[in-house]
Amino acid sequence: MNITLSQAPAEGTVSALTLTLKGTAAATTVRVQQQGQQKAKSAVLLSIQSDIGKGIIYNIRLSRWYLAYCFLMAIATLCLVVFMIVDVHFRKNPVPVWVCAVDGLITFAVCFETIADMILLGMPFWSSGWHVFDFAVSLVCFVSWLLLLLEVDLCCGEQVGVVESLDEFVTVILLTIRYVAQFVRIVRYIRTGAEAQDSLSTAEKHIIRFDTPGGREDPGLSSAVPGGELDF
């Protein structure tokens, strides 16, 4: 009788432990499923964000206003580089304030466009080599503009000795960074404008006409379909 009484609590403990383990396993399974659902939901949201962002960017960059903007910025950048080479570094004139202001506006446009792409596309932004290229251009242009600000302040200030020392040791490096940034910026605008122009031309050529029930084409029902997807 004593043996029976001593085994009963042991069996109850085993049963309770088994129930506890089952409950823990069930809770773990539920948590894993919830985490999987959250990850899947996040992936879907990111995909939707990327698709919407691509649609917005695609529509903007196929507009003729954007094409005009690209060529205008490319011409302005080229003129700025030529002026800096001829007037500032060959004629040894100080950097005008308006040059710094114009360069700042162009740099702001480059950085704003890149940041807008990053926000609209999300993480897929970094999967494109052209987007990484745009980010690098924006970073280099911003640093170049800060260096231009430094040069304007030093030239307009009283620390002439610092400017001369800077010209002796670091001028080549600073000029290389600045003009490489300006050149890459021109390439970027020409590349974007050319891609948008090609896609727009393709969209205008590929017209799909929908037939009416009588077999005749209805000119009012037509749509332009681009031949391919731009890597914006």
Q: What is the DSSP letter of 214?
A: T
Closest by CA to 148, choosing from 110, 178, 123, is: 178
Contacts of 145 (CB under 8 A, 6+ apart): 100, 103, 104, 107
Segment 63-89 shows an average pLDDT of 82
pLDDT band for 18, please (50, 70, 90 cuts).
Answer: low
Residue type, position 31, single letter: R
Examine the pLDDT at 231 and tell me if it is beyond 50: yes
Residues 86, 146, 186, CA angle at the centre, nearest 5°?
55
Closest by CA to 110, choosing from 71, 141, 69, is: 141
Segment 181-198 shows an average pLDDT of 74
Closest by CA to 182, choosing from 137, 150, 134, 152, is: 137
d(CA 142, CA 217): 54
User: Pairing between strand 207-211 and 217-224?
Assistant: antiparallel
pLDDT band for 108, please (50, 70, 90 cuts).
Answer: very high
Tokens representing 183 are 């050149």
**3-state class of 188 per DSSP?**
helix
Say what the pLDDT of residue 53 is.
65
Of residues 38 and 91, which shows the higher confidence score?
Answer: 91
Examine the pLDDT at 152 and tell me if it is beyond 70: no
Domain boundaries, the chain: 11-61, 63-207
Going from the C-alpha of 198 to that of each of 113, 194, 195, the distances in angstroms are 20, 6, 5
